[in-house]
Amino acid sequence: MKIMNGRVALLALAVSFVFFVSPLSPFINAVQANQVDILFTGWLVAVKKEATIKGVSEATLQSAFKNIKLNPKVIKLDRNQPEFKITFQAYLDRVISKRRITKGRKLLSEHKAFFTQLEKETGVPGRFLVALWGMETDFGRLTGGFSVIEALSTLAFDGRRSSYFRHELLQALMILDQGHIEAENMRGSWAGAMGQTQFMPSTFTKHAIDYSGDGKIDIWNQQEDALGSSAYYLANEGWVAGQTWGRAVLLPAAFDVGKIGLGMTKTLDEWAALGVTRGNGKTLPNNNRIQSSLVRAENDPEQRVFVVYNNFHTLMKWNRSINFALAVGSLSNEIGEANDE
């Protein structure tokens, strides 16, 4: 669909650049702000037309876009994501606290029957689900206060990853149209992630399930739906039952660092033959079947190395960050009180 002619598109790009390079800049004058508002209003018209073609009702569109505005705070947060600017240890200290470990163990114990049933169905152990729950929203305490529609509209209009966020916006509108939640209650992170385990709308559409059986998929308020959906997401994305995620290792002197990276795979026996040991110096488990890779933590002055398995790759589909996947695995070990698996 052709939305703008070349001249208008260039104006949109120029004004968008002026506005979003520094969204809170005091130098943006009223004329520039007015131009952006006009362009945003026109852009929303095109989005609504596309949503209508996809079957979203007019009533849903009216409700979803009521009082929606560009949100400069969203752009500021998008430009300054702290997890990319701190060391690995500082990141671990922030997400794996003693309080979080204690609470995670308590929740895993209290809902043992629920997690046992989920593991039977999906192969995903409860400790990984509790770790993700804790990492994403502190067990449902911090699910985000942004309007998902406003946040996604802002990011889609911004231009840095407009195609991706426009797709997510359309998915969010379809979720509203299906009646799973009301527009005013569809709240989440500044990036549009929703619910107790922070699903993006496209993830919700593809993987979320009504685990409670009440006719709606409510990942915001129902733990059964949020955690059940998370288990099925991991299973659908390739989780291997009976395997863990990986472990810390030590490398011998003069080890070929070219072998470090997710693109290089070997069995544990092959790594052991090259002198790789567990983090405590003991030999790796004997295994000539499981394929694994060596990875370094990112932004880590200690240059820690881990051997990781298939389920680590699955965790990275949740969040494409090596440090995130390492933290989830490490927190799951603490919650499940795993002893150097």
Q: Does a structural domain hold residue 177?
A: yes
Asked whether 96 and 327 are in contact (CB, 8 A), the reply is yes
Examine the domain organization and report whether 161 and 302 are in the same domain. Answer: no
Give ∠ CA 274-277-279 in degrees, rounded to 5. Answer: 145
Examine the domain organization and report whether 156 and 258 are in the same domain. Answer: no
Mean pLDDT on 266-282: 96
Give the SS3 label for residue 332: helix
Between the two ends of the chain, the Cα-to-Cα distance in Å is 53
Q: Does a structural domain hold residue 300?
A: yes
Q: Does a structural domain hold residue 227?
A: yes
User: How many domains does one find in the chain?
Assistant: 3
Examine the domain organization and report whether 69 and 15 are in the same domain. Answer: yes
Q: At what angle do helices 310-318 and 126-137 cross, to 10 degrees?
A: 30
Examine the domain organization and report whether 175 and 279 are in the same domain. Answer: no
Within its chain, how far is the Cα of 138 from the centroid? 14
Task: Return the structure tokens found at 255.
Answer: 């080890």
β-pairing verdict for 291-296 and 187-188: unpaired
Examine the domain organization and report whether 263 and 159 are in the same domain. Answer: no
Q: Does a structural domain hold residue 203?
A: no
Q: Which domain holds residue 13?
A: 6-79+145-188
Q: Does a structural domain hold residue 214?
A: no
Cα 175 from Cα 288, distance rounded (Å)? 45
pLDDT at 58 over 90: yes
pLDDT digits (tens, 9 = 90+) for 224-273: 999 999 999 999 999 999 999 999 999 999 999 999 999 999 999 999 99
Examine the domain organization and report whether 107 and 232 are in the same domain. Answer: yes
**pLDDT the model gives residue 341:** 53
Task: Return the structure tokens found at 119.
Answer: 């593991």
pLDDT at 134 over 80: yes
Question: What CATH number has the domain bearing residue 113?
Answer: 1.10.530.10
> Lowest mean pLDDT: which of 20-34, 183-197, 277-291?
20-34
